[in-house]
Structure 1
Amino acid sequence: MTGTPPLADLAWARGYTDPARVRWHTTSGRELLPSRSVRRGSGTPTPLPAGPPGALDGLRFDGPPGQSRTLAELLAASETDALLVLHRGHVVHEQYLHGYEPHVPHFNASAAKSYLGLVAAVLAHEGLLDRDALVAGYVPELAGTAFGEARVDDLLHMGTRMSYAGRPYDKALEAQRYFAVLAPRLRPWGYTGPATIREHLATARATGEPGVEFRYENGNVEALAEVLRRVTGTTTSALLSEMIWSRIGAEEDAYYVLDGDGTEAACGGFSATARDLARFGEMVRLGGALGDRRIVPEAVASTIVSGVPDGYPRRVRFPAAPPEAPATLSYHDLWWIPNDPYGSFMASGIHGQRLLICPALDLVVVHYASQIVSPSVPQAPLVEAFLTIGTHLRDRG
């Protein structure tokens, strides 16, 4: 267990100073807010065959100099709720902790951004979405806002600069205000701000040219989701179901939580089981297909790592990294790219959610957690640990 940080860290933790409280939120979304199902369809679930038992037995992970940790110690330190490892399509490790159950959808938080990015990339590949078009051309109500005057491609690369309602931009503060928009119970006393996601987006004004600088901001994804709703004439939930979820052989419906207008919280309100997210990741690892089912064009699945367009930063900082941290990641179509030797890319969420796909290691890792976000609680080096798992599995054949 990571323990409880001091109350002085409330500004960082948004009040979630107890991992058990975070876990309640990450596993109980549709009990807290209205929701809409992402239907799995009626087909037979895609098998997830078991790999050889004990594949990770004895494996240790590097820590501080002279120290190493077992997998159990690493999972405890990261407040893990679920870990599922696929190697060459076989489950070599599947574990659930803290009472979390395999059939219960778990919040993916900002990892959900990447799934929407994939949907947008497919629609662009099919000619239904113009990456170079201004967003206001699809959503006239956003004309004059920071998002409306940006291109679709700027949204896909977090390339807008804005402030909301004339406030100086502060990422942590704006994250809190977004949650207040979404959930009335999180609004402070006397709140008079936007009550829906669309109202929130309408207050954004540009503070710089788009397409120049990386700034990780939820509004980019919510604006993109509205574009996709206008292009397809359907909800985000129905779109993800039609294009992805009903075609990967999922076992369970996923879902999005909704704002007061009935609009999906596309930037982080998606929940799914670990097994179904593993099916999704395996489909992407295999170039967009499962067996004889082509789900995503190979040209889209194969260019997530290599497709960062000219003009966008080639190296960016992870949102939780301190300002002095080096920019070591890349970012393309709402996916994080570690720039490792294995062609890896990942979806990542604030409380330790990860979907890591490593084509060169034949590896897919799903990690769900309920971590505290606080300088007082060091984050476990999960991505490095997952790559260690991948190289271990590769080397043992």
Structure 2
Amino acid sequence: MAGIPPLADLTWARGHTDPAWARWQTTSGRELLPSRQVRRGPGTPSPLPVPSAGALDGLTFTGPRRRPVGLPELLALAETDALLVMHRGTLVHEEYLHGYEAHVPHVNASAAKSYLGLLAAVLVHEGQLVRDAPVTTYVPELAGTAFGEARVDDLLHMGTLMSYAGRPYDKALEAQRYLAALAPQMRPYGYTGPATIGEHIATARPTGEPGTAFRYENGNTEALAEVLRRVTGTTTSALLSELIWSRIGAEEDAYYVLDASGAEAAAGGFSATARDLIRLGEMIRCGGAAGDRQILPEAVATAIVSGVPDGYPRRVRFPAARPDAPATLSYHDLWWIMNDPYGSFMASGIHGQRLFVSPALDLVVVHYASQIVSPAVPPTPLVDAFLAIGTHLHG
């Protein structure tokens, strides 16, 4: 009899409850899995103007359970690895904690979904991709699956309903099953399921009409990534490099981790430095322009908050919110829309990864963290803090 392995061997579950373990995972992707570069290209990195220090000194924020906290305590509560704040093109705050270093790529987790949304929007703008086209137009092998029966626009708005391998749908379980398909070391003892992301999403069967409900699910992003590969004939890494990363003046290459088939983990396997991510956010804030160069079509950059298409929920609940929390956000082209007076939107990942852009406040914030995910740990109200920083700087 093989027996039961010790708990320490069940690494697939630890990252959600142990900040030290999460921190190791978020900065060590290339040590854990095969990876592919997102090349920064030739040329000198674009400058990040820095003023004298102290722009955020003395600020007080609302912490968990509505308790007032200063910035150091807020960052400690959020298990922060890096906080960068850019206002009107100037980097007013740059801070690294827990030994994390500026030159080290940090996993973006589900914030990576939003960057894939940008690539899809560019291809739609160029006429290479049709939003209303069935996914099987581009990936015939997905016929009969929940994603193949959907339209491209359904994937961009998390508008599919599915069950995997005949299981009743459970978000937490399916998140773990996705990781198990991606990485052998994430698999529980005795695992015999799909060994690639493609095999995993092929087991998804529709349980409802596409485009009628919101379900935040990795499979939508992975199916969309395969659509983009078929349309362009290139990898997700090469496409992101060609359209964005090699053009924003990045300092470092980024990278995606790969599954056993060589496909990028587009839903959460992207890593980049905080300094380069804030360059990305600033480019979007400036209507797709970086300096005197137009990187994204202006229509793509400004359409992120232009509204949710008819048929999709206008208000959705953030995945980490309490079940009884009101639905106050919108979701468009894989970006979270804040619905605040400042036109703010956000890419967001588990453990506290954020790229927050607030055009009316001239604000871009990058937050990297290794925050515990547990019902016993109250979430740190980071978005409220970002808005407080923005109104302070803007005012």
| TMscore range, shorter length | over 0.9
Does residue 69 of structure 1 match 2:73? no
1:352/1:369 contact within 8 Å kept: yes
| C-alpha separation in 2, matches of 1:105 and 1:284 | 21
| C-alpha separation in 2, matches of 1:303 and 1:376 | 38
| C-alpha separation in 2, matches of 1:394 and 1:316 | 29
The answer for the alignment partner of 1:267 in structure 2 is: 267
Does residue 218 of structure 1 match 2:193? no
The answer for the alignment partner of 1:340 in structure 2 is: 340
The answer for the alignment partner of 2:283 in structure 1 is: 283
The answer for the alignment partner of 2:302 in structure 1 is: 302
The answer for the alignment partner of 1:188 in structure 2 is: 188
TM-score, with normalisation over the residues of structure 2? 0.96
- 1:284 is paired with a residue whose SS is helix
Shift of 1:67: 3.7
Q: How does 1:161-172 map to 2 (within 5 A)?
A: 161-172=161-172
Percent identical residues: 81
The answer for the alignment partner of 1:364 in structure 2 is: 364
The answer for the alignment partner of 1:4 in structure 2 is: none
| Residues 64 and 271 (structure 1), Cα distance of their counterparts in 2 relative to 1, 3 Å cut | closer
Shift of 1:65: 7.6
- 2:200 is paired with a residue whose SS is helix
The answer for the alignment partner of 1:236 in structure 2 is: 236
The answer for the alignment partner of 1:57 in structure 2 is: 57
- 1:31 is paired with a residue whose SS is helix
Structure 1 residue ranges (4+ consecutive) displaced by more than 3 angstroms after TM superposition: 12-16, 63-67
The answer for the alignment partner of 2:3 in structure 1 is: none
Aligned partner letter, 2:307? G
1:354/1:365 contact within 8 Å kept: yes
What does the per-residue CA deviation read over 1:64-105, in whole Å, with 9 as the maximum and x for residues that have no partner?
688411100000000000000000010100000000000000
| C-alpha separation in 1, matches of 2:150 and 2:70 | 47
The answer for the alignment partner of 2:351 in structure 1 is: 351
- 2:266 is paired with a residue whose SS is coil
| C-alpha separation in 2, matches of 1:149 and 1:386 | 39
| C-alpha separation in 1, matches of 2:16 and 2:159 | 29
- 2:208 is paired with a residue whose SS is coil
1:13/1:372 contact within 8 Å kept: no
What does the per-residue CA deviation read over 1:263-283, in whole Å, with 9 as the maximum and x for residues that have no partner?
100000000000000000000
2:131/2:152 contact within 8 Å kept: yes
| C-alpha separation in 2, matches of 1:15 and 1:153 | 32
TM-score, with normalisation over the residues of structure 1? 0.95
| C-alpha separation in 2, matches of 1:186 and 1:53 | 42
The answer for the alignment partner of 1:107 in structure 2 is: 107
| C-alpha separation in 1, matches of 2:86 and 2:333 | 24
2:16/2:374 contact within 8 Å kept: no
What does the per-residue CA deviation read over 1:156-206, in whole Å, with 9 as the maximum and x for residues that have no partner?
000000001111000000000001001101112222111011111111100
| C-alpha separation in 2, matches of 1:64 and 1:73 | 11
Does residue 153 of structure 1 match 2:153? yes
| Structure 1: gaps of 5 or more residues | 1-6
1:14/1:176 contact within 8 Å kept: no
The answer for the alignment partner of 2:142 in structure 1 is: 142
| C-alpha separation in 1, matches of 2:96 and 2:15 | 25
- 1:302 is paired with a residue whose SS is helix
- 1:376 is paired with a residue whose SS is coil
Aligned partner letter, 1:328? T
- 2:120 is paired with a residue whose SS is helix
- 1:356 is paired with a residue whose SS is strand
Q: How does 1:77-96 map to 2 (within 5 A)?
A: 77-96=77-96
1:13/1:374 contact within 8 Å kept: no
| C-alpha separation in 2, matches of 1:39 and 1:81 | 24
- 1:355 is paired with a residue whose SS is strand
The answer for the alignment partner of 2:26 in structure 1 is: 26
The answer for the alignment partner of 1:132 in structure 2 is: 132
| Structure 2: gaps of 5 or more residues | 1-6
| C-alpha separation in 1, matches of 2:377 and 2:198 | 34
The answer for the alignment partner of 1:391 in structure 2 is: 391
Using the TM superposition, name which of 316-325 and 247-256 deviates more: 316-325
The answer for the alignment partner of 2:245 in structure 1 is: 245
- 1:54 is paired with a residue whose SS is coil
1:13/1:373 contact within 8 Å kept: no
Using the TM superposition, name which of 96-105 and 294-303 deviates more: 294-303
| C-alpha separation in 1, matches of 2:25 and 2:348 | 17
- 1:365 is paired with a residue whose SS is strand
| Residues 342 and 15 (structure 1), Cα distance of their counterparts in 2 relative to 1, 3 Å cut | closer
What does the per-residue CA deviation read over 1:12-36, in whole Å, with 9 as the maximum and x for residues that have no partner?
9655422111100001110011100
Aligned partner letter, 2:124? A
Shift of 1:309: 0.6
